[in-house]
Amino acid sequence: MVEWLERSTKAESPGVLKAGNSPKNLAYWQGRKTEIAQVQQWLTDENTCLIGIEGIGGTGKSMLAAKIYAEIAGFPKRFWADVSNGEGFSDVAREVLTQFGFPVPEQEAQLVEALVRCLRSGQFLLVIDNLESLLQPDRQWGSLFYGEFFQTWIESGGNSKVLVTTRERPELKGFAWLPLKGLQVDEGVALLAELGIKGDLGEFVELVDGHPLLLRLVADLLKEEYSQDPDLSRLADLGLGNLRQLLTDSQVVGVHRRENVGMVLVLDASFARLSELQKALLLNISVYRGAVDSAASVALLPGSTEPEIEAELRNLVKRSLLVEKLNGKRRFEFQPVVLEYVRYKAGEQTEAHQRAIDYYRSIAKQSPWTTKDDVQEYLEIFHHFYQLQDYDSAFDALWFCDDFLTLRGYYIDQVELYGQLVSKWAEIGDRENWNYRAALTSLGNAYRSLGEYQRAIEFHKQSLEISRKIGDRNGVGNSLIGLGNAYDSLGEYQRAIEFFQQSLEIFREIGARDGVGKSLNNLGNAYNSLGEYQRAIEFHQQSLEIKREIGDCNGIGSSLNNLGNAYNSLGEYQRAIKFYQQSLEISREIGDRNSVGNSLIGLGNAYCSLGEYQQAIEFFQQSLEISREIGDIRGEATVWFNLGLTLEKVNRESDALGAYRNARELFQKMELDAYVQRCNNKIERISQPQTLVVSLRGFWGWLRRLWRWLRSWLRR
């Protein structure tokens, strides 16, 4: 048990962000004056931007951070993020940006830059609690983009400060580290005295090395069991009479190990004094992630009433086995160390996980959904099936809301969740599982949406190889479409056409009308990019007909938008506008924000071609806002470039130059060299006339100065 407790908790799937104000209760605070002074010095040092508080579980890292968070001056805005469930960077960054009043892009690469820019713009305090939950056993980052954020923040810095608490240091230089140990003897004595404990307090504090959580657990145990006489001499009656002997045993080497041994002994004693209902309650709710309310707790203990369970939850708070949170609704959560202990005690938790799944199913929202919170129950169901190693059921829960996650641009969530499933199926060798191949394809699609085209190609190739090997022709067709889209995004249109043609033949052979429609639509896009507009129109019209036959609203909207693109390329702008308007209406109706953005781009292009530049600019601005929100980096780059073209036409060269530079930066991130060069050409063309004007002005000034000198000389 001690060895298990010594290991850091590692979250196995992304959790729910617990954020906002510090959740720590600072009642009975004692000491830490030296530590507070050190952290305050770093917080006022302009050369220190990243501070870490490191220590074993229960030493009070979070409490110290909470004390500083609550009382430090000079930070008008501050944010507390508890990442103990391994939350993804996107959730943390979005919430921080929202709370600090900054626009929120959803694409991860943009979020790093946006968060750093936000922190550099003011004097903010960002606390990230329980950082160790984001690390793998090798101290590398388990969730995407955290390492990039910290490295970028170290390199750029600013007036804001980032403070982390962790049991384990990441492999990253640039932190100012405060190794945190137990309370000083006098501080520990003061804490026990304030809690009403009697006896030889100094001796006991010294025995347990001033470990704050251990002191609280002992104090609360004594007060609950012997409220009239909570004396340390009573520990023998609680089965802790041999505590001194065990902690001073020669086999218990090192301060940290002594603290862990003491923690286990005290937790054992506390657990043994609980009622059967309290024990069952703790063991069962330990399967949940984050804070839970009484309703969620009752769901795991059939036969109990909600008032009864809430009363017991509050009793467990009195014993420091749970922490109570009051934020509109009463909720309860574990101290990380206590959670590890309880999960170890619980052992196999199949029944509890299954009841948690049933509970989330009972409260899950039905579509239509608007925000990620609306599908959170399905993501929790995914987590519990994943813990049960029922990966197919976990996939089903994720697949149920996959279209929503795609339409709303939650690509990074798809990458992390499908990535976990793919890793497990690859590990167990379940290559013939349809869900495995679908997860590979979904991973490829998500990476393409994030602009990581080479990684997308890798996953689509894996899916294609497996599908061909087992004879899954539908899977082969879908993988070919994925590869075609990735190469199309890279500008390799002929190669993309080859993949689309292969997928079209397969879908026609097996009678998959939906697949035929997708292949035709993608062929139209590729031919449009090659300048073969009439051929593109033929493919899009065929696709539109099929999509209408099968009632695929999303496909209808896509085909209409692409027809608009083709007619716009042919110079038939009014006809293009009609198609864009139809596509826009459908996309808005079904909540496909990515397609809404594409239709707005098309409308902007058409109105620009008609000379209605202000209306075009308005459409581009609307599209730009959506692209940023959903993380469509390719869409954002395209909008910036087209906006630059339009701004040039209204003689706003300076604004156009900024738009081209923004587009170039995004195309560079996607490693699209051809598009980068197009931006460079525009930038150079605008810049050169400006340079010439400056030179002419300088030459004219020189001539005027020469003329004045000549006149002066002649007058002599």
Q: How far apart are CA 549 and CA 560, in angstroms?
A: 14
Percent residues over pLDDT 90 in the chain: 42
Helices (H) and strands (E) in the chain, counts: 33, 8
Average pLDDT, the chain: 85
DSSP assignments along 26-59, one per residue: -TT----HHHHHHHHHHHT-TT--EEEEE-STTS
309 and 340 both lie in a single domain: yes
Residue 574 lies inside a defined structural domain of this protein: no
Q: Where are the alpha helices (DSSP H) in 72-164?
A: 89-99, 108-120, 146-156
261 and 290 both lie in a single domain: no
H/E/C letters for each residue in 241-296? CCHHHHHCCCCCCCHHHHHHHHHHHHHHHHHHCCCHHHHHHHHHHCCCCCCECHHH
Neighbours of 372 (CB within 10 A): 18
190 and 81 both lie in a single domain: no
- Supply the CATH number for residue 309's domain: 1.10.10.10
What is the helix, strand, coil percentage profile of the chain, to 5? 65, 5, 25
Among 116, 144, 179, where does a domain finish? 179
Residue 603 lies inside a defined structural domain of this protein: no
Contact 373, 404 (CB under 8 A): no
**Helices 108-120, 633-649: inter-axial angle, 10-degree rounding:** 70
Instruction: Determine whether 392 is exposed, middle or buried from the number of CB atoms within 10 Å of its CB (0-12, 13-18, 19+).
Output: middle
Q: How far apart are CA 333 and CA 23, in angstroms?
A: 10
Q: What is the pLDDT of residue 15?
A: 45
Instruction: Determine whether 319 is exposed, middle or buried from the number of CB atoms within 10 Å of its CB (0-12, 13-18, 19+).
Output: buried
- The vertex-380 CA angle with 430 and 331, nearest 5°, equals 155
Count the residues in the chain: 716
Sequence-distant (6+) residues with CB within 8 A of 467 are 437, 473, 475, 476, 478, 479
Among 159, 179, 199, where does a domain finish? 179
Q: How far apart are CA 566 and CA 524, in angstroms?
A: 9
User: Among 89-103, 131-145, 379-393, 479-493, where is mean pLDDT lowest?
Assistant: 131-145
Judge whether residue 18 has pLDDT over 70: no
Q: What is the pLDDT of residue 10?
A: 43
Q: How far apart are CA 204 and CA 243, in angstroms?
A: 10
Tell me what the mean pLDDT of segment 108-126 comes to: 87
Q: How far apart are CA 204 and CA 249, in angstroms?
A: 16
User: Among 14-28, 70-84, 523-537, where is mean pLDDT lowest?
Assistant: 14-28
Tell me what the mean pLDDT of segment 276-290 comes to: 93
Residue 68 lies inside a defined structural domain of this protein: yes
Tell me what the mean pLDDT of segment 669-698 comes to: 70
Q: What is the pLDDT of residue 14?
A: 42
Q: How far apart are CA 348 and CA 633, in angstroms?
A: 44
Q: What is the pLDDT of residue 24?
A: 66
User: Among 183-192, 269-278, 423-432, where is mean pLDDT lowest?
Assistant: 423-432
| β 161-166/18-20 pair status | unpaired
DSSP assignments along 155-178, one per residue: HH--S-EEEEEESS--S-S--EEE
152 and 26 both lie in a single domain: yes
Query: How is residue 325 annotated by DSSP?
Result: E
Judge whether residue 7 has pLDDT over 60: no
Q: What is the pLDDT of residue 189?
A: 92
Q: How far apart are CA 150 and CA 167, in angstroms?
A: 17
For 652, phi and psi rounded to 5 degrees?
-105, 65
Residue 641 lies inside a defined structural domain of this protein: no
284 and 269 both lie in a single domain: no
258 and 313 both lie in a single domain: no
Q: How far apart are CA 164 and CA 376, in angstroms?
A: 26
Contact 560, 541 (CB under 8 A): no
Three-class DSSP category at 452 = coil
165 and 247 both lie in a single domain: no
Residue 295 lies inside a defined structural domain of this protein: yes
247 and 189 both lie in a single domain: yes
Residue 595 lies inside a defined structural domain of this protein: no
Q: How far apart are CA 660 and CA 550, in angstroms?
A: 41
Structure tokens at 133: 């939950």
Q: How far apart are CA 443 and CA 660, in angstroms?
A: 31
Judge whether residue 460 has pLDDT over 50: yes
DSSP assignments along 544-555, one per residue: HHHHHHHT-HHH
Contact 163, 175 (CB under 8 A): no
Three-class DSSP category at 591 = coil
Query: How is residue 301 annotated by DSSP?
Result: S
| β 323-326/330-333 pair status | antiparallel
Residue 50 lies inside a defined structural domain of this protein: yes
For 163, phi and psi rounded to 5 degrees?
-120, 125
Judge whether residue 512 has pLDDT over 90: yes
For 534, phi and psi rounded to 5 degrees?
-65, -40
**Helices 336-346, 276-285: inter-axial angle, 10-degree rounding:** 100
Among 179, 203, 230, where does a domain finish? 179
Residue with token string 């497996």: 466
Q: Where are the alpha helices (DSSP H) in 551-572?
A: 553-569
Q: What is the pLDDT of residue 670?
A: 73
Q: What is the pLDDT of residue 359?
A: 96
Q: How confident is residue 377, by pLDDT bands cut at 50, 70 and 90? A: very high
Q: What is the pLDDT of residue 467?
A: 93
Tell me what the mean pLDDT of segment 189-205 comes to: 90
End-to-end Cα, the chain, rounded Å: 104
pLDDT for 312-353, tens place per residue? 999 999 888 998 876 667 889 888 888 888 998 899 999 999
Three-class DSSP category at 633 = helix
- Amino acid, single-letter form, for residue 103: P
**Rg (alpha carbons) of the chain, rounded to whole number:** 31
Helical (H) or strand (E) element with 331:
strand 330-333
Q: How confident is residue 144, by pLDDT bands cut at 50, 70 and 90? A: low
Q: What is the pLDDT of residue 369?
A: 86
Count of the separate structural domains present in the chain: 3
30 and 86 both lie in a single domain: yes
Instruction: Determine whether 118 is exposed, middle or buried from the number of CB atoms within 10 Å of its CB (0-12, 13-18, 19+).
Output: buried
pLDDT for 553-570, tens place per residue? 888 999 999 999 999 989
Q: How far apart are CA 265 and CA 24, in angstroms?
A: 25
User: Among 21-30, 65-74, 321-330, 346-355, where is mean pLDDT lowest?
Assistant: 21-30
Structure tokens at 368: 């239509």
pLDDT for 622-634, tens place per residue? 888 887 776 677 7
Q: Rounding to the nearest 10 degrees, give the CA dihedral for residues 268, 272, 278, 281.
A: 40
Contact 50, 175 (CB under 8 A): yes
Residue 468 lies inside a defined structural domain of this protein: no
29 and 168 both lie in a single domain: yes
Q: What is the pLDDT of residue 142?
A: 72
Please, which residues bridge with residue 161 across strands?
A: 125
Three-class DSSP category at 139 = coil
Contact 89, 143 (CB under 8 A): yes
Q: How far apart are CA 628 and CA 600, in angstroms?
A: 14
Give the CA distances from residue 680 to residues 269, 527, 636, 686, 695, in Å, rounded to whole numbers and listed in that order: 71, 26, 17, 10, 22
User: Among 126-130, 205-209, 615-619, where is mean pLDDT lowest?
Assistant: 205-209
Contact 526, 510 (CB under 8 A): no
Tell me what the mean pLDDT of segment 657-684 comes to: 85
| β 161-166/330-333 pair status | unpaired
51 and 120 both lie in a single domain: yes
For 176, phi and psi rounded to 5 degrees?
-100, 110
Q: What is the pLDDT of residue 704?
A: 54
204 and 321 both lie in a single domain: no
- Supply the CATH number for residue 81's domain: 3.40.50.300
pLDDT for 587-599, tens place per residue? 888 877 778 888 9
Segments forming the whole domain that contains residue 326: 276-347
